[in-house]
Structure 1
């Protein structure tokens, strides 16, 4: 049923306001600034520890820890959107769907890399088109391949606008790198919350039942 509704959404079309999405993503961050910052600092610390002391196995962090860790922002965003109380442990709910998000990340990265090595443009297309894949799995209940495909097909409808949205999110995090990455604990959660806001806007009537 959800796939049928997604198909209908693609056929009827949709639109969104990037500025509005970013503003609401920031407001979502401001609803839980301390927890969001502290959790982001934990992720950054783990990345640095692996880079400095476990560089030989950094790929293990990227493969098995990073996907569920970053997915935690989506679970918190959902609770904030529903007006529910957020606790720090909510950020770790990504580990409850670890296999799904790891599979999505791994297969998505492989396909994107192959696209870049082939002709570059296909890789860029997939990098943007898979932006909703983890959200499709978490809130749509899809297996990893269906999540990747449903994300790709939905985003393709407005791919150029999503491309612009992705560039803005990238720019926000690049700004967060200066000075000394001090703004990353703000920019990282804001980008994930903004992505959730956009996903929820488009699929609210599809996955709310």
Structure 2
């Protein structure tokens, strides 16, 4: 069976009926890579500015931190840099929050409010991101293939934590891995194609990234909706 994407492209249901974690794990989902990219492309308009504002805020914070690190003692800078790296690993979640709200047709909150909205799940995000990074790096150091498997397998981790804040870091990682494993090669194919699109979009002075970066984030969100929301009709 394969999922048919929602017909109502512009008027998404802001209060979709969600599947529980148990239902999502048991759900026999499927998706077409072409349909996912097409759906994500149709949703790019209206989300580019919020995403790039969030990116700009992160870049400004990073610049300020780098300037600060230049003026403090080297030993203190090393410790401070490690602490900040751990603290900053959850900031990319702002992109996920914005994308998920946009896909559901919810009113987009500004980037600053996104940062504040992370407060109740930030520790979970940080721990999950650190653990995932360690496991992926360890996987690459061993035989490469385990690293590739896990890097794809954990792609839904942020989305799960945002939508299901009750899960623990390890639960989020395992839920993502188990769900993705059902169609791992399709996920791999999706990200392979998206990577090619990103590379091509860089060629004309990087202007194409204005569209392709949001496209990449939204594509993951579309698949997440297929798995975790009941608004999609099944096609035999």
Give the TM-score band, short-chain normalised.
0.7 to 0.9
C-alpha RMSD of matched pairs (Å): 2.7
1:138 deviation in Å?
A: 1.5
Query: Could you state the TM-score of these two structures normalised by the residue count of structure 1?
Result: 0.82
Q: Does 1:196 align with 2:221?
A: yes
Residue in 2 aligned with 1:79?
101
Do 1:129 and 1:151's aligned partners in 2 also have CA atoms closer than 8 Å?
Answer: yes
> Would you tell me which structure has more helix in proportion to its own residues?
1
Q: Structure 1 residues 103, 178: CA separation in 2 closer, same or farther (over 3 Å shift)?
A: farther
Q: Does 1:205 align with 2:220?
A: no
Q: Does 1:33 align with 2:87?
A: no
Tell me the SS of whatever aligns to 1:64: helix
Residue in 2 aligned with 1:169?
194
1:5 deviation in Å?
A: 1.2
1:180 deviation in Å?
A: 4.9
Q: Does 1:125 align with 2:140?
A: no
In 1, Cα distance between equivalents of 2:118 and 2:68: 25
Do 2:24 and 2:227's aligned partners in 1 also have CA atoms closer than 8 Å?
Answer: no
Query: Could you state the TM-score of these two structures normalised by the residue count of structure 2?
Result: 0.73
Q: Which moved more, 1:149-158 or 1:159-168?
A: 159-168
Q: Structure 1 residues 152, 96: CA separation in 2 closer, same or farther (over 3 Å shift)?
A: same
Do 2:157 and 2:172's aligned partners in 1 also have CA atoms closer than 8 Å?
Answer: yes
In 2, Cα distance between equivalents of 1:21 and 1:82: 15
In 2, Cα distance between equivalents of 1:186 and 1:48: 24
Residue in 1 aligned with 2:185?
160
In 2, Cα distance between equivalents of 1:51 and 1:183: 28
In 1, Cα distance between equivalents of 2:199 and 2:68: 25
Residue in 2 aligned with 1:150?
175
The aligned length equals 202
Residue in 1 aligned with 2:25?
7
Q: Structure 1 residues 52, 40: CA separation in 2 closer, same or farther (over 3 Å shift)?
A: same
In 1, Cα distance between equivalents of 2:207 and 2:83: 26
In 1, Cα distance between equivalents of 2:203 and 2:184: 29
1:125 deviation in Å?
A: 0.4
1:27 deviation in Å?
A: 2.8
Do 1:101 and 1:137's aligned partners in 2 also have CA atoms closer than 8 Å?
Answer: yes
Larger radius of gyration: 2
In 2, Cα distance between equivalents of 1:105 and 1:169: 22
Q: Structure 1 residues 82, 90: CA separation in 2 closer, same or farther (over 3 Å shift)?
A: farther
Structure 2 gaps, min length 5? 1-18, 71-77, 232-236
